[in-house]
Amino acid sequence: MPAALIDASALVAVFGTDQPKGQHYQTLFQSASEQRWSLSTTWPCVTEASYMVAPPQRYTLLRWLGHGAISVYPFEQEELIDFADLMHRYTQAPRSEMDLADASLLWLAEQTGVTRIMTLDVRDFSRYRLPDGRSFEIL
């Protein structure tokens, strides 16, 4: 079954107002739904997107997620150690800094083997690598 990870930026594009890439990601989500893709994100991405999308669209986003439109992958508290290690490895101040949401998606890719991702963060996800050297396929 096809699968993809969902970054906060793709959620913001779909649920935010006047988003330049909104239609692109709406179309991707629709196609993925019709083709029964397995779509996943993480709680840090939900938190980031919820912060960035203003009401009332924020409530629409949360209800959409609550109805199971995509899976929100859980993690244990001790996984934060891995997230911190990833953030340290990929932070190159002052130019780029890996945030918690990105670290959680890289960790999720390691856990699931899914490297297809819906994100506007092309620069960063182009440089992230899984331990076996695989890169992300950005949609």
Angle at 12 between CA 8 and CA 14, to 5 degrees: 120
Render 12-39 in DSSP notation, one character per residue: HHHHSSS-TTHHHHHHHHHHHHHTT-EE
pTM: 0.93
How do residues 98-133 score in pLDDT, each as one tens digit? Answer: 999 999 999 999 999 999 999 999 999 999 999 999
- For the cut 80, the answer to whether the pLDDT of residue 94 exceeds it is no
126 vs 102: CA distance, rounded Å: 12
CATH number of residue 115's parent domain: 3.40.50.1010
Model confidence band, residue 93 (pLDDT cutoffs 50, 70, 90): confident
CB-facing half-sphere around the CA of 91: CA atoms within 13 A? 13
The residue segments making up the domain with residue 43 are: 3-138
Q: Report how many domains make up the chain.
A: 1
